[in-house]
A and B are shown apart, each in its own frame.
Chain A
Amino acid sequence: MRTRILLYLALAAGAVPTLLPFVWLVRSALMQDTQMFIAPPQWIPDPFQWSNFTEALTAQPFGRYFLNTVVIAVISVLGTVLTCSIAAFSFSRLRWRGRNVVFAVLLSSVMLPYAVTLIPTFVMWQELGALNTIAPLTVPSWFAGAGGGVLNVFLLRQFFLTIPFELDEAAYIDGASPWRVFWMVVMPLSKPAIVVVTIFTFIGTWNDFLGPLLYLNDEEKYTLSIGLASFQSIYITQWGYLMAASAAVIAPIIALFFFLQRYFIEGVTLTGIKN
Protein backbone atom coordinates (compact mmCIF):
# COMPACT_ATOMS: atom_id res chain seq x y z
CA MET A 1 0.00 0.00 0.00
CA ARG A 2 2.79 2.40 0.93
CA THR A 3 4.65 1.67 -2.31
CA ARG A 4 1.42 2.40 -4.21
CA ILE A 5 1.20 5.83 -2.61
CA LEU A 6 4.87 6.48 -3.31
CA LEU A 7 4.32 5.48 -6.94
CA TYR A 8 1.52 7.98 -7.40
CA LEU A 9 3.49 10.66 -5.56
CA ALA A 10 6.44 10.09 -7.91
CA LEU A 11 4.18 10.26 -10.97
CA ALA A 12 2.58 13.46 -9.73
CA ALA A 13 6.00 14.94 -8.96
CA GLY A 14 7.01 14.24 -12.54
CA ALA A 15 3.76 15.53 -13.97
CA VAL A 16 4.06 18.97 -12.37
CA PRO A 17 7.16 20.20 -14.24
CA THR A 18 5.86 18.49 -17.38
CA LEU A 19 2.55 20.33 -17.28
CA LEU A 20 3.65 23.65 -15.81
CA PRO A 21 4.79 25.17 -19.14
CA PHE A 22 1.36 24.34 -20.61
CA VAL A 23 -0.44 25.95 -17.70
CA TRP A 24 1.81 28.97 -18.14
CA LEU A 25 0.99 29.01 -21.86
CA VAL A 26 -2.76 28.83 -21.35
CA ARG A 27 -2.87 31.42 -18.58
CA SER A 28 -0.74 33.81 -20.66
CA ALA A 29 -2.92 33.22 -23.69
CA LEU A 30 -5.92 34.43 -21.67
CA MET A 31 -4.31 37.49 -20.10
CA GLN A 32 -3.98 41.14 -20.94
CA ASP A 33 -0.36 41.97 -21.65
CA THR A 34 -0.07 44.25 -18.64
CA GLN A 35 -1.15 41.47 -16.31
CA MET A 36 1.69 39.20 -17.36
CA PHE A 37 4.35 41.40 -15.80
CA ILE A 38 2.94 41.42 -12.29
CA ALA A 39 5.28 40.03 -9.65
CA PRO A 40 4.63 37.69 -7.94
CA PRO A 41 3.01 36.14 -11.02
CA GLN A 42 -0.71 35.78 -11.20
CA TRP A 43 -1.91 32.32 -12.24
CA ILE A 44 -5.58 33.03 -12.84
CA PRO A 45 -6.33 35.58 -15.55
CA ASP A 46 -8.64 38.37 -14.44
CA PRO A 47 -10.49 39.05 -16.61
CA PHE A 48 -10.25 36.16 -19.08
CA GLN A 49 -9.06 37.79 -22.29
CA TRP A 50 -10.73 35.45 -24.80
CA SER A 51 -10.31 38.04 -27.53
CA ASN A 52 -6.58 37.16 -27.69
CA PHE A 53 -7.55 34.01 -29.54
CA THR A 54 -9.85 35.60 -32.09
CA GLU A 55 -7.44 38.47 -32.68
CA ALA A 56 -4.32 36.31 -32.90
CA LEU A 57 -5.96 33.90 -35.29
CA THR A 58 -7.21 36.68 -37.55
CA ALA A 59 -4.05 38.82 -37.38
CA GLN A 60 -2.45 36.23 -39.62
CA PRO A 61 -4.26 33.73 -41.84
CA PHE A 62 -3.83 30.81 -39.46
CA GLY A 63 -6.85 29.09 -40.98
CA ARG A 64 -5.02 29.08 -44.28
CA TYR A 65 -1.81 27.78 -42.61
CA PHE A 66 -3.82 25.08 -40.91
CA LEU A 67 -5.31 23.96 -44.22
CA ASN A 68 -1.89 24.01 -45.95
CA THR A 69 -0.43 21.89 -43.15
CA VAL A 70 -3.30 19.40 -43.31
CA VAL A 71 -2.93 19.02 -47.09
CA ILE A 72 0.81 18.34 -46.82
CA ALA A 73 0.32 15.97 -43.89
CA VAL A 74 -2.46 13.97 -45.57
CA ILE A 75 -0.58 13.57 -48.87
CA SER A 76 2.55 12.53 -46.97
CA VAL A 77 0.73 10.04 -44.76
CA LEU A 78 -1.02 8.41 -47.74
CA GLY A 79 2.22 8.14 -49.69
CA THR A 80 4.24 6.85 -46.78
CA VAL A 81 1.71 4.23 -45.69
CA LEU A 82 1.13 2.94 -49.20
CA THR A 83 4.67 2.81 -50.57
CA CYS A 84 6.29 1.75 -47.29
CA SER A 85 3.94 -1.17 -46.83
CA ILE A 86 4.38 -2.27 -50.45
CA ALA A 87 8.14 -2.26 -49.94
CA ALA A 88 7.84 -3.97 -46.55
CA PHE A 89 5.69 -6.68 -48.16
CA SER A 90 8.32 -7.27 -50.79
CA PHE A 91 11.12 -7.40 -48.21
CA SER A 92 9.30 -9.74 -45.86
CA ARG A 93 7.01 -12.05 -47.83
CA LEU A 94 8.31 -12.31 -51.37
CA ARG A 95 11.49 -14.25 -52.07
CA TRP A 96 13.86 -12.73 -54.59
CA ARG A 97 17.61 -12.76 -54.96
CA GLY A 98 19.45 -9.87 -53.35
CA ARG A 99 16.47 -8.99 -51.21
CA ASN A 100 18.29 -8.79 -47.89
CA VAL A 101 21.27 -6.92 -49.31
CA VAL A 102 19.00 -4.30 -50.89
CA PHE A 103 17.08 -3.97 -47.64
CA ALA A 104 20.26 -3.51 -45.59
CA VAL A 105 21.50 -0.82 -47.99
CA LEU A 106 18.17 1.04 -47.79
CA LEU A 107 18.17 0.80 -44.02
CA SER A 108 21.63 2.34 -43.83
CA SER A 109 20.16 5.67 -44.95
CA VAL A 110 18.58 6.01 -41.50
CA MET A 111 22.05 6.72 -40.10
CA LEU A 112 22.70 9.49 -42.60
CA PRO A 113 22.46 13.02 -41.16
CA TYR A 114 19.87 14.99 -43.10
CA ALA A 115 22.38 17.82 -43.42
CA VAL A 116 24.38 15.78 -45.92
CA THR A 117 21.57 15.50 -48.45
CA LEU A 118 20.07 18.93 -47.71
CA ILE A 119 21.98 21.09 -50.18
CA PRO A 120 21.93 18.85 -53.29
CA THR A 121 18.25 18.06 -52.68
CA PHE A 122 17.49 21.77 -52.48
CA VAL A 123 19.44 22.39 -55.69
CA MET A 124 17.59 19.53 -57.38
CA TRP A 125 14.16 21.00 -56.56
CA GLN A 126 15.42 24.40 -57.64
CA GLU A 127 16.51 22.99 -61.01
CA LEU A 128 13.13 21.32 -61.41
CA GLY A 129 11.44 24.67 -60.75
CA ALA A 130 9.64 23.22 -57.75
CA LEU A 131 10.62 25.83 -55.17
CA ASN A 132 7.64 27.43 -53.51
CA THR A 133 5.44 24.39 -54.25
CA ILE A 134 4.52 21.54 -51.92
CA ALA A 135 6.30 19.00 -54.15
CA PRO A 136 9.58 18.95 -52.17
CA LEU A 137 7.57 18.40 -48.99
CA THR A 138 5.31 15.62 -50.27
CA VAL A 139 6.89 13.76 -53.21
CA PRO A 140 9.62 11.99 -51.18
CA SER A 141 6.95 10.31 -49.06
CA TRP A 142 5.66 8.55 -52.20
CA PHE A 143 9.06 6.87 -52.53
CA ALA A 144 8.71 4.83 -49.34
CA GLY A 145 9.24 7.89 -47.20
CA ALA A 146 12.77 8.30 -48.66
CA GLY A 147 15.66 8.89 -46.26
CA GLY A 148 14.61 8.55 -42.63
CA GLY A 149 11.21 7.18 -43.75
CA VAL A 150 12.90 3.82 -44.30
CA LEU A 151 12.37 3.22 -40.58
CA ASN A 152 8.69 2.81 -41.45
CA VAL A 153 9.56 0.08 -43.95
CA PHE A 154 11.53 -1.61 -41.19
CA LEU A 155 8.69 -1.29 -38.70
CA LEU A 156 6.09 -2.66 -41.13
CA ARG A 157 8.39 -5.46 -42.24
CA GLN A 158 8.87 -6.55 -38.63
CA PHE A 159 5.12 -6.61 -38.23
CA PHE A 160 4.44 -8.46 -41.49
CA LEU A 161 6.87 -11.19 -40.39
CA THR A 162 4.57 -11.99 -37.47
CA ILE A 163 1.63 -12.86 -39.74
CA PRO A 164 1.43 -16.62 -40.48
CA PHE A 165 2.84 -17.46 -43.92
CA GLU A 166 0.22 -20.21 -44.35
CA LEU A 167 -2.27 -17.48 -45.20
CA ASP A 168 -0.23 -16.43 -48.23
CA GLU A 169 0.26 -20.02 -49.36
CA ALA A 170 -3.45 -20.74 -49.16
CA ALA A 171 -4.18 -17.63 -51.22
CA TYR A 172 -1.56 -18.52 -53.83
CA ILE A 173 -3.05 -22.01 -54.19
CA ASP A 174 -6.36 -20.29 -54.91
CA GLY A 175 -4.57 -18.45 -57.72
CA ALA A 176 -4.13 -15.07 -56.05
CA SER A 177 -1.42 -12.68 -57.22
CA PRO A 178 1.12 -11.24 -54.76
CA TRP A 179 -0.67 -7.89 -55.04
CA ARG A 180 -3.91 -9.54 -53.99
CA VAL A 181 -2.20 -11.26 -51.05
CA PHE A 182 -0.74 -7.93 -50.00
CA TRP A 183 -3.99 -6.02 -50.29
CA MET A 184 -6.53 -8.64 -49.14
CA VAL A 185 -4.53 -10.69 -46.62
CA VAL A 186 -1.59 -8.83 -45.13
CA MET A 187 -2.86 -5.24 -45.04
CA PRO A 188 -6.15 -5.94 -43.23
CA LEU A 189 -4.21 -7.82 -40.53
CA SER A 190 -1.71 -5.02 -40.02
CA LYS A 191 -3.87 -2.20 -38.73
CA PRO A 192 -1.88 -1.58 -35.50
CA ALA A 193 1.37 -1.12 -37.40
CA ILE A 194 -0.32 1.09 -39.98
CA VAL A 195 -1.77 3.27 -37.23
CA VAL A 196 1.72 3.74 -35.78
CA VAL A 197 3.21 4.71 -39.14
CA THR A 198 0.28 7.07 -39.72
CA ILE A 199 0.76 8.83 -36.38
CA PHE A 200 4.54 9.07 -36.70
CA THR A 201 4.31 10.48 -40.21
CA PHE A 202 1.49 12.84 -39.34
CA ILE A 203 3.29 14.29 -36.31
CA GLY A 204 6.53 14.44 -38.27
CA THR A 205 5.01 16.49 -41.10
CA TRP A 206 2.89 18.58 -38.76
CA ASN A 207 5.99 19.60 -36.79
CA ASP A 208 8.40 19.94 -39.70
CA PHE A 209 10.05 23.33 -39.71
CA LEU A 210 13.20 23.22 -41.82
CA GLY A 211 11.44 21.78 -44.90
CA PRO A 212 8.77 24.47 -45.23
CA LEU A 213 11.36 27.10 -44.22
CA LEU A 214 13.54 26.15 -47.16
CA TYR A 215 10.92 25.53 -49.79
CA LEU A 216 7.98 27.88 -49.18
CA ASN A 217 8.29 31.61 -49.80
CA ASP A 218 4.76 32.89 -50.31
CA GLU A 219 2.98 33.71 -47.12
CA GLU A 220 -0.21 32.10 -48.37
CA LYS A 221 1.60 28.78 -48.75
CA TYR A 222 3.04 28.78 -45.24
CA THR A 223 2.45 25.93 -42.82
CA LEU A 224 1.58 26.43 -39.16
CA SER A 225 5.21 26.11 -38.05
CA ILE A 226 6.42 28.81 -40.40
CA GLY A 227 3.37 30.96 -39.72
CA LEU A 228 4.02 30.80 -36.01
CA ALA A 229 7.74 31.53 -36.36
CA SER A 230 7.08 34.61 -38.49
CA PHE A 231 4.28 35.61 -36.11
CA GLN A 232 6.80 35.42 -33.28
CA SER A 233 9.14 37.86 -35.00
CA ILE A 234 6.37 40.29 -35.99
CA TYR A 235 4.34 40.32 -32.79
CA ILE A 236 7.29 40.21 -30.47
CA THR A 237 5.57 42.70 -28.15
CA GLN A 238 2.09 41.23 -28.14
CA TRP A 239 2.60 38.30 -25.85
CA GLY A 240 -1.06 37.49 -25.39
CA TYR A 241 -1.50 36.99 -29.14
CA LEU A 242 1.60 34.92 -29.40
CA MET A 243 0.59 32.61 -26.58
CA ALA A 244 -2.92 32.26 -27.98
CA ALA A 245 -1.58 31.41 -31.43
CA SER A 246 0.81 28.82 -29.94
CA ALA A 247 -1.98 27.23 -27.92
CA ALA A 248 -4.17 27.03 -31.01
CA VAL A 249 -1.40 25.30 -32.97
CA ILE A 250 -0.78 22.77 -30.20
CA ALA A 251 -4.40 21.90 -29.35
CA PRO A 252 -5.38 19.79 -32.40
CA ILE A 253 -2.39 17.50 -32.13
CA ILE A 254 -2.96 16.94 -28.42
CA ALA A 255 -6.59 16.02 -29.08
CA LEU A 256 -5.54 13.61 -31.83
CA PHE A 257 -2.99 11.93 -29.62
CA PHE A 258 -5.29 11.57 -26.67
CA PHE A 259 -7.76 9.56 -28.74
CA LEU A 260 -5.16 7.49 -30.55
CA GLN A 261 -2.59 6.96 -27.79
CA ARG A 262 -3.79 3.44 -26.99
CA TYR A 263 -3.12 2.25 -30.55
CA PHE A 264 0.06 4.23 -30.56
CA ILE A 265 1.64 2.71 -27.45
CA GLU A 266 0.34 -0.77 -28.20
CA GLY A 267 1.46 -0.51 -31.79
CA VAL A 268 4.98 0.47 -30.81
CA THR A 269 5.11 -2.41 -28.38
CA LEU A 270 3.79 -4.86 -30.99
CA THR A 271 6.03 -3.76 -33.79
CA GLY A 272 9.09 -3.00 -31.74
CA ILE A 273 9.75 -6.00 -29.61
CA LYS A 274 7.61 -9.06 -30.07
CA ASN A 275 8.07 -11.25 -33.08
Chain B
Amino acid sequence: MIDRRLVQHFDWVLLVGLVLLIMVGLTTLYSATSVGKVGVVSNIFYKQLSWYGVGWIVLIVVLFFDYRKSESYAYWLYVGIVLMLVGVLIAGRHVAGARRWLGLGPIAFQPSEMMKIVIILALSKFYSKRVSIHGLGIRDIWPAILMTAIPFGLILKQPDLGTGLILVLIASSMTLLARVKKGVLLALCLTGLVVLPAGWLVLKEYQRQRIVTFLSPERDPLGAGYHIIQSKIAVGSGQLVGKGFMKGTQNVLSFLPEQHTDFIFSVLAEDWGLIGSFIVLLLFLSVIVWSLNIGHQCRDAYGIFVIYGISSLFFWEVSINVAMVMGMVPVVGIPLPFVSYGGTAVLVMMTSMGLLMNISMRRFLFE
Protein backbone atom coordinates (compact mmCIF):
# COMPACT_ATOMS: atom_id res chain seq x y z
CA MET B 1 0.00 0.00 0.00
CA ILE B 2 1.15 3.45 -0.82
CA ASP B 3 0.84 5.85 2.02
CA ARG B 4 -1.57 8.60 0.98
CA ARG B 5 0.71 11.15 2.58
CA LEU B 6 3.41 10.27 0.08
CA VAL B 7 1.16 11.35 -2.78
CA GLN B 8 0.14 14.46 -0.94
CA HIS B 9 3.71 15.44 -0.35
CA PHE B 10 4.96 14.67 -3.84
CA ASP B 11 7.50 17.30 -4.86
CA TRP B 12 5.98 18.87 -7.96
CA VAL B 13 8.58 21.62 -8.01
CA LEU B 14 11.39 19.10 -8.52
CA LEU B 15 9.42 17.28 -11.16
CA VAL B 16 8.80 20.46 -13.13
CA GLY B 17 12.47 21.40 -12.75
CA LEU B 18 13.53 17.99 -13.98
CA VAL B 19 11.23 18.04 -16.99
CA LEU B 20 12.45 21.50 -17.95
CA LEU B 21 16.08 20.45 -17.59
CA ILE B 22 15.56 17.38 -19.75
CA MET B 23 13.85 19.50 -22.38
CA VAL B 24 16.71 21.96 -22.38
CA GLY B 25 19.16 19.09 -22.58
CA LEU B 26 17.50 17.30 -25.47
CA THR B 27 16.92 20.39 -27.59
CA THR B 28 20.50 21.49 -27.10
CA LEU B 29 21.82 18.04 -27.92
CA TYR B 30 19.62 18.01 -30.99
CA SER B 31 21.08 21.29 -32.10
CA ALA B 32 24.61 20.20 -31.29
CA THR B 33 24.53 16.95 -33.19
CA SER B 34 22.40 17.67 -36.20
CA VAL B 35 25.02 20.02 -37.65
CA GLY B 36 22.62 22.54 -39.05
CA LYS B 37 20.55 20.19 -41.14
CA VAL B 38 16.90 20.31 -40.16
CA GLY B 39 15.27 16.92 -40.18
CA VAL B 40 18.55 15.08 -39.86
CA VAL B 41 18.51 13.47 -36.46
CA SER B 42 21.73 12.02 -35.25
CA ASN B 43 22.24 8.64 -33.74
CA ILE B 44 23.55 10.32 -30.63
CA PHE B 45 20.28 12.16 -30.10
CA TYR B 46 18.26 8.96 -30.41
CA LYS B 47 20.60 7.18 -28.03
CA GLN B 48 20.23 9.93 -25.45
CA LEU B 49 16.47 9.86 -25.92
CA SER B 50 16.37 6.14 -25.21
CA TRP B 51 18.63 6.58 -22.19
CA TYR B 52 16.08 9.03 -20.83
CA GLY B 53 13.43 6.39 -21.45
CA VAL B 54 15.36 4.01 -19.25
CA GLY B 55 16.10 6.90 -16.89
CA TRP B 56 12.41 7.51 -16.18
CA ILE B 57 11.92 3.87 -15.28
CA VAL B 58 14.90 4.03 -12.96
CA LEU B 59 13.51 7.21 -11.40
CA ILE B 60 10.11 5.64 -10.75
CA VAL B 61 11.68 2.53 -9.25
CA VAL B 62 13.82 4.74 -7.00
CA LEU B 63 10.70 6.68 -5.92
CA PHE B 64 8.89 3.61 -4.66
CA PHE B 65 11.61 2.40 -2.36
CA ASP B 66 11.94 4.17 0.92
CA TYR B 67 15.33 5.86 0.61
CA ARG B 68 16.21 4.78 4.18
CA LYS B 69 16.50 1.23 2.92
CA SER B 70 19.36 2.29 0.67
CA GLU B 71 21.33 2.96 3.84
CA SER B 72 21.64 -0.74 4.62
CA TYR B 73 23.26 -1.65 1.31
CA ALA B 74 25.16 1.59 0.63
CA TYR B 75 28.51 -0.06 1.45
CA TRP B 76 27.78 -3.06 -0.75
CA LEU B 77 26.98 -0.78 -3.67
CA TYR B 78 30.21 1.01 -2.96
CA VAL B 79 32.24 -2.19 -3.00
CA GLY B 80 30.50 -3.29 -6.19
CA ILE B 81 31.37 -0.12 -8.05
CA VAL B 82 34.95 -0.16 -6.75
CA LEU B 83 35.28 -3.67 -8.18
CA MET B 84 33.87 -2.41 -11.47
CA LEU B 85 36.46 0.37 -11.47
CA VAL B 86 39.14 -2.25 -11.03
CA GLY B 87 37.50 -4.17 -13.86
CA VAL B 88 37.69 -1.10 -16.07
CA LEU B 89 41.43 -0.91 -15.58
CA ILE B 90 41.83 -4.58 -16.40
CA ALA B 91 39.32 -5.11 -19.17
CA GLY B 92 37.86 -1.71 -19.96
CA ARG B 93 37.30 -0.38 -23.44
CA HIS B 94 39.90 2.04 -24.72
CA VAL B 95 38.57 5.23 -26.19
CA ALA B 96 41.05 7.94 -27.16
CA GLY B 97 43.77 6.79 -24.85
CA ALA B 98 41.64 6.25 -21.76
CA ARG B 99 39.90 3.25 -20.29
CA ARG B 100 36.61 4.39 -18.84
CA TRP B 101 33.99 2.03 -20.14
CA LEU B 102 32.96 -1.45 -19.21
CA GLY B 103 31.27 -3.34 -21.97
CA LEU B 104 28.14 -5.37 -21.31
CA GLY B 105 27.24 -6.76 -24.67
CA PRO B 106 26.37 -3.83 -26.90
CA ILE B 107 26.01 -1.45 -23.96
CA ALA B 108 29.01 0.32 -22.52
CA PHE B 109 28.75 2.05 -19.19
CA GLN B 110 31.02 4.15 -17.08
CA PRO B 111 31.48 2.93 -13.51
CA SER B 112 33.22 6.20 -12.66
CA GLU B 113 29.93 8.03 -13.29
CA MET B 114 28.07 5.59 -11.03
CA MET B 115 30.65 6.17 -8.34
CA LYS B 116 29.42 9.75 -8.06
CA ILE B 117 26.10 8.65 -6.63
CA VAL B 118 27.40 5.63 -4.75
CA ILE B 119 30.02 7.61 -2.88
CA ILE B 120 27.25 9.97 -1.77
CA LEU B 121 25.25 7.05 -0.34
CA ALA B 122 28.28 5.46 1.31
CA LEU B 123 29.53 8.69 2.88
CA SER B 124 25.99 9.58 4.00
CA LYS B 125 25.73 6.29 5.81
CA PHE B 126 29.17 6.76 7.30
CA TYR B 127 28.73 10.33 8.50
CA SER B 128 25.14 9.97 9.69
CA LYS B 129 26.23 7.13 11.96
CA ARG B 130 29.13 9.00 13.38
CA VAL B 131 27.82 12.38 14.40
CA SER B 132 29.06 14.16 17.47
CA ILE B 133 28.20 17.59 18.72
CA HIS B 134 31.79 17.93 19.81
CA GLY B 135 32.95 17.46 16.24
CA LEU B 136 34.69 14.51 14.63
CA GLY B 137 38.38 13.91 15.03
CA ILE B 138 40.77 12.48 12.54
CA ARG B 139 40.34 9.03 14.06
CA ASP B 140 36.61 9.26 13.31
CA ILE B 141 36.88 10.28 9.69
CA TRP B 142 39.84 8.38 8.28
CA PRO B 143 37.58 5.63 6.86
CA ALA B 144 35.75 8.34 4.90
CA ILE B 145 39.04 9.60 3.55
CA LEU B 146 40.02 6.09 2.51
CA MET B 147 36.59 5.54 1.01
CA THR B 148 37.16 8.55 -1.23
CA ALA B 149 40.81 7.91 -1.95
CA ILE B 150 40.30 4.39 -3.34
CA PRO B 151 37.92 5.28 -6.19
CA PHE B 152 39.78 8.55 -6.72
CA GLY B 153 42.99 6.65 -7.34
CA LEU B 154 41.30 4.13 -9.62
CA ILE B 155 39.59 6.85 -11.65
CA LEU B 156 42.79 8.87 -11.90
CA LYS B 157 44.41 5.80 -13.37
CA GLN B 158 41.89 5.61 -16.24
CA PRO B 159 42.81 8.55 -16.52
CA ASP B 160 39.85 10.80 -15.82
CA LEU B 161 40.91 13.80 -13.79
CA GLY B 162 37.53 15.53 -14.08
CA THR B 163 35.48 12.74 -12.53
CA GLY B 164 38.13 12.15 -9.87
CA LEU B 165 37.97 15.82 -8.99
CA ILE B 166 34.18 15.74 -8.67
CA LEU B 167 34.44 12.81 -6.24
CA VAL B 168 36.86 14.72 -4.05
CA LEU B 169 34.70 17.85 -4.16
CA ILE B 170 31.58 15.91 -3.18
CA ALA B 171 33.41 14.17 -0.36
CA SER B 172 34.88 17.43 0.88
CA SER B 173 31.48 19.11 0.82
CA MET B 174 29.93 16.29 2.79
CA THR B 175 32.77 16.38 5.30
CA LEU B 176 32.08 20.06 5.81
CA LEU B 177 28.45 19.25 6.52
CA ALA B 178 29.43 16.72 9.15
CA ARG B 179 30.73 18.47 12.18
CA VAL B 180 34.48 18.12 12.04
CA LYS B 181 36.90 19.62 14.53
CA LYS B 182 38.53 22.80 13.28
CA GLY B 183 41.99 21.42 13.85
CA VAL B 184 41.18 18.41 11.70
CA LEU B 185 39.97 20.62 8.87
CA LEU B 186 43.15 22.62 9.03
CA ALA B 187 45.22 19.44 9.07
CA LEU B 188 43.35 18.06 6.04
CA CYS B 189 43.98 21.24 4.06
CA LEU B 190 47.66 21.19 4.98
CA THR B 191 47.95 17.51 4.05
CA GLY B 192 46.48 18.31 0.68
CA LEU B 193 49.13 20.97 0.16
CA VAL B 194 51.87 18.46 1.00
CA VAL B 195 50.47 15.50 -0.93
CA LEU B 196 50.01 17.39 -4.19
CA PRO B 197 53.71 18.11 -4.82
CA ALA B 198 54.62 14.59 -3.69
CA GLY B 199 52.18 13.15 -6.19
CA TRP B 200 53.86 15.21 -8.89
CA LEU B 201 57.11 13.34 -8.39
CA VAL B 202 55.40 9.97 -8.78
CA LEU B 203 53.82 10.83 -12.13
CA LYS B 204 55.23 9.81 -15.47
CA GLU B 205 56.43 12.51 -17.84
CA TYR B 206 53.42 12.37 -20.14
CA GLN B 207 51.08 12.53 -17.15
CA ARG B 208 52.83 15.66 -15.91
CA GLN B 209 52.51 17.12 -19.37
CA ARG B 210 48.78 16.51 -19.23
CA ILE B 211 48.47 18.23 -15.91
CA VAL B 212 50.48 21.22 -17.07
CA THR B 213 48.16 21.51 -20.05
CA PHE B 214 45.22 21.04 -17.75
CA LEU B 215 46.34 23.88 -15.53
CA SER B 216 47.23 26.29 -18.31
CA PRO B 217 45.52 25.44 -21.57
CA GLU B 218 47.05 28.44 -23.30
CA ARG B 219 50.23 26.40 -23.35
CA ASP B 220 48.46 24.04 -25.67
CA PRO B 221 47.12 26.29 -28.41
CA LEU B 222 46.54 23.26 -30.64
CA GLY B 223 44.49 21.33 -28.12
CA ALA B 224 42.77 22.71 -25.05
CA GLY B 225 43.71 26.29 -25.92
CA TYR B 226 41.98 25.97 -29.26
CA HIS B 227 38.90 24.47 -27.67
CA ILE B 228 38.63 27.39 -25.30
CA ILE B 229 39.01 30.02 -28.00
CA GLN B 230 36.34 28.34 -30.11
CA SER B 231 34.08 27.90 -27.14
CA LYS B 232 34.40 31.55 -26.11
CA ILE B 233 33.63 32.65 -29.66
CA ALA B 234 30.53 30.46 -29.64
CA VAL B 235 29.30 31.77 -26.28
CA GLY B 236 30.17 35.39 -27.02
CA SER B 237 28.65 35.46 -30.47
CA GLY B 238 25.32 34.40 -29.04
CA GLN B 239 24.97 37.95 -27.69
CA LEU B 240 21.69 38.96 -26.07
CA VAL B 241 19.11 36.80 -27.81
CA GLY B 242 21.24 34.19 -29.55
CA LYS B 243 21.40 33.10 -33.15
CA GLY B 244 18.32 30.93 -32.80
CA PHE B 245 17.76 27.21 -32.48
CA MET B 246 20.30 25.32 -34.58
CA LYS B 247 21.55 28.55 -36.10
CA GLY B 248 24.80 28.60 -34.16
CA THR B 249 27.48 28.80 -36.82
CA GLN B 250 30.37 27.80 -34.60
CA ASN B 251 28.62 24.61 -33.74
CA VAL B 252 27.26 23.96 -37.19
CA LEU B 253 30.66 24.10 -38.74
CA SER B 254 32.02 21.65 -36.22
CA PHE B 255 34.39 24.23 -34.86
CA LEU B 256 33.56 23.04 -31.44
CA PRO B 257 35.34 20.03 -30.17
CA GLU B 258 33.24 17.45 -28.41
CA GLN B 259 30.36 19.86 -28.66
CA HIS B 260 27.88 17.23 -27.54
CA THR B 261 29.67 16.31 -24.36
CA ASP B 262 31.72 18.70 -22.26
CA PHE B 263 31.30 21.80 -24.41
CA ILE B 264 27.58 21.59 -24.93
CA PHE B 265 26.85 24.73 -22.93
CA SER B 266 28.52 26.80 -25.63
CA VAL B 267 26.01 25.46 -28.16
CA LEU B 268 23.21 26.49 -25.85
CA ALA B 269 24.71 29.93 -25.30
CA GLU B 270 25.25 30.43 -29.01
CA ASP B 271 21.73 29.39 -29.96
CA TRP B 272 19.85 31.18 -27.19
CA GLY B 273 22.11 34.05 -26.18
CA LEU B 274 22.31 35.69 -22.78
CA ILE B 275 18.60 35.37 -22.14
CA GLY B 276 18.49 31.66 -22.85
CA SER B 277 21.67 30.80 -20.95
CA PHE B 278 20.60 32.94 -18.04
CA ILE B 279 17.28 31.12 -17.80
CA VAL B 280 19.04 27.75 -17.90
CA LEU B 281 21.51 28.81 -15.20
CA LEU B 282 18.60 30.02 -13.13
CA LEU B 283 16.91 26.66 -13.60
CA PHE B 284 19.98 24.84 -12.30
CA LEU B 285 20.28 27.27 -9.42
CA SER B 286 16.63 26.76 -8.49
CA VAL B 287 17.00 23.00 -8.42
CA ILE B 288 20.09 23.24 -6.21
CA VAL B 289 18.55 25.76 -3.80
CA TRP B 290 15.30 23.80 -3.71
CA SER B 291 17.21 20.64 -2.82
CA LEU B 292 19.01 22.44 -0.02
CA ASN B 293 15.58 23.55 1.13
CA ILE B 294 14.37 19.94 1.20
CA GLY B 295 17.39 19.16 3.33
CA HIS B 296 16.42 21.97 5.61
CA GLN B 297 13.11 20.28 6.32
CA CYS B 298 14.44 16.76 6.50
CA ARG B 299 14.53 15.14 9.95
CA ASP B 300 16.84 12.30 9.25
CA ALA B 301 20.60 12.63 9.22
CA TYR B 302 21.11 10.06 6.45
CA GLY B 303 18.60 11.87 4.25
CA ILE B 304 20.22 15.23 4.88
CA PHE B 305 23.61 13.88 3.85
CA VAL B 306 22.21 12.30 0.70
CA ILE B 307 20.49 15.53 -0.26
CA TYR B 308 23.57 17.51 0.47
CA GLY B 309 25.74 15.16 -1.57
CA ILE B 310 23.42 15.33 -4.56
CA SER B 311 23.13 19.10 -4.34
CA SER B 312 26.89 19.41 -4.23
CA LEU B 313 27.19 17.04 -7.20
CA PHE B 314 24.87 19.31 -9.20
CA PHE B 315 26.54 22.44 -7.95
CA TRP B 316 30.11 21.39 -8.74
CA GLU B 317 29.34 19.90 -12.11
CA VAL B 318 27.26 22.83 -13.33
CA SER B 319 29.54 25.55 -12.06
CA ILE B 320 32.80 23.94 -13.19
CA ASN B 321 31.44 22.93 -16.58
CA VAL B 322 29.95 26.33 -17.34
CA ALA B 323 33.01 28.16 -16.02
CA MET B 324 35.23 25.93 -18.16
CA VAL B 325 33.23 26.56 -21.31
CA MET B 326 33.56 30.29 -20.72
CA GLY B 327 37.29 30.07 -20.15
CA MET B 328 37.17 30.86 -16.42
CA VAL B 329 38.73 27.61 -15.22
CA PRO B 330 40.97 25.02 -16.89
CA VAL B 331 39.46 22.50 -19.26
CA VAL B 332 38.60 19.29 -17.41
CA GLY B 333 36.30 16.55 -18.48
CA ILE B 334 33.19 17.34 -16.47
CA PRO B 335 29.78 16.99 -18.12
CA LEU B 336 26.85 19.38 -17.75
CA PRO B 337 24.12 17.49 -15.89
CA PHE B 338 21.06 16.58 -18.02
CA VAL B 339 22.54 18.28 -21.07
CA SER B 340 25.81 16.60 -21.99
CA TYR B 341 25.56 13.38 -23.94
CA GLY B 342 26.22 10.21 -21.97
CA GLY B 343 24.17 7.17 -21.06
CA THR B 344 25.58 6.43 -17.64
CA ALA B 345 25.46 10.12 -16.74
CA VAL B 346 21.76 10.25 -17.63
CA LEU B 347 21.01 7.28 -15.41
CA VAL B 348 23.02 8.78 -12.55
CA MET B 349 21.20 12.11 -12.88
CA MET B 350 17.78 10.42 -12.98
CA THR B 351 18.69 8.33 -9.93
CA SER B 352 19.81 11.48 -8.11
CA MET B 353 16.58 13.23 -8.95
CA GLY B 354 14.61 10.17 -7.91
CA LEU B 355 16.39 10.16 -4.56
CA LEU B 356 15.72 13.86 -4.03
CA MET B 357 12.00 13.40 -4.72
CA ASN B 358 11.97 10.27 -2.60
CA ILE B 359 13.40 12.09 0.41
CA SER B 360 11.28 15.13 -0.26
CA MET B 361 7.99 13.23 -0.14
CA ARG B 362 8.98 11.30 2.95
CA ARG B 363 10.31 14.21 4.94
CA PHE B 364 7.01 14.62 6.81
CA LEU B 365 6.75 11.00 7.82
CA PHE B 366 8.73 11.73 10.93
CA GLU B 367 6.13 14.04 12.32
A is bound by B: no
Interface residues, chain A, CB within 8 Å of chain B? none
Interface residues, chain B, CB within 8 Å of chain A? none
